[in-house]
Amino acid sequence: MPHRPDLDAPSVPTDATVSLFFDLDGTLIDLAARPDAVVVSAALLAALARLSARRPGRVAILSGRSIAQLDDLLGPFARSVAVAGSHGAERRAPAAAAIAATVPPALAAAHADLAAVADRHGLLLERKSLGTALHFRDTPALEGVADDAARDVAHRHGLVLQRGKMMVEVRAPGDKGAALTALLATPAMAGTRPLFFGDDVTDEDGFVAAYDAGGAGVLVGPPRITAARHRLPDPAAVRAWIERAGGDA
C-alpha cells in the first residue's frame, strides 16, 4: 500500500478514540553513531508522561530494541505504558510481566558467525536479546559486506533478516505490525484508531497494521515511498507534536 511521498503532518487528536504508538530511535530520539550513544532527554520523558496521563493505556512504544534496553533508556516511564521490543517479538502491558518469544537456539550460533565478520572487517556488532546487528554507519563502504554476511547467516540458521538504517540484523521472528495489532486488543485500546510514528523500513509493517485497523502511519524523516499516510520531518517535530498532544488531548 505505498503512497506518494508528499504527505502532510498528522493532526493532534482531541478525543479518546486514538491510540498512539511510537518507535524510539530515529523517531522519538535522534540517531547516534552507536546504539549505546543515544540521548533520551528529561524533557522528552516528561512530555511522554503528560501524554500518557491524558491518554491512560493508549500510548505505547514499539522498538527494535529489547524491552530490557527500553527499560534502561526510558526509566520508570517504560513501566507505565505498553511496550513491544525486538521488533515485536516481546511485549509488555503497563505494570505487567513481559511476554517474550521463545529464544531460538540458533541465535547463539548466528551471533558467533556475525561476531567473526565484525572482527574481520571492523563492523560494529550489537547483541540483542533476540538478535544480533551489524552497524556500518561509520563504515558505509562495508554495507555490502554486512548485508551479504547477514543474509548468509540468516539463511543458514533459519532466522529473519532485517535491514534498517545503516545496519542489518539477524533476529527471531516478529514484526511491529503484529505487536500493534495485539496491543490494540487490550482493554484500554480496544475500539481505538492507531497512529504509529516510525522512521525506518522496519516500521512499515506497523504502518500497514495501523491502516488496516482504521488508523494511519506517520513517517518520520525525508519523503520516500511508504505505507504511511502522514509525515513529520524529524524527531524534533515528533517531540513538538507530543508536547501539543500532551496539552490538548
Per-position DSSP letters for 138-183, written without gaps between them: S-GGGHHHHHHHHHHHHHHHT-EEEEETTEEEEE-S--HHHHHHHH
Cell 554486512 sits at which residue? Answer: 146
The DSSP 8-state label assigned to residue 84 in this structure reads E
70 with 136, same domain: the answer is no
**Residue 30 corresponds to which cell in the numbers above?**
535522534
Residues 238-248 have pLDDT tens digits of 999 999 999 84
Q: What is the mean pLDDT of residues 178-205?
A: 96
Q: Would you state the pLDDT for residue 103?
A: 86
32 with 71, same domain: the answer is yes
pLDDT averaged over every residue in the chain = 94
Q: Which of 91, 54, 49 is nearest to 70 (CA)?
A: 91
Confidence at 6, pLDDT banded by 50, 70, 90: confident
Q: Which domain does 149 fall in, by range?
A: 106-171
Does a structural domain hold residue 83? yes
The DSSP 8-state label assigned to residue 137 in this structure reads S
SS3 64: coil
Q: How far is Cα 42 from Cα 168, in angstroms, rounded to an integer?
A: 30
**Residue 37 corresponds to which cell in the numbers above?**
550513544
23 with 91, same domain: the answer is yes
The structure's pTM equals 0.89
Find out whether 203 and 222 touch, Cβ atoms under 8 Å: no
| CATH at 213 | 3.40.50.1000
Count of structural domains within the chain: 2
Strand ranges, E, within the chain: 18-22, 59-62, 82-85, 90-92, 98-100, 124-128, 131-135, 160-164, 167-171, 193-198, 216-220, 230-232
Q: Would you state the pLDDT for residue 1?
A: 53
Q: Report the Cα 138 to chain-centroid distance in Å.
A: 22
Catalytically active residues are 23
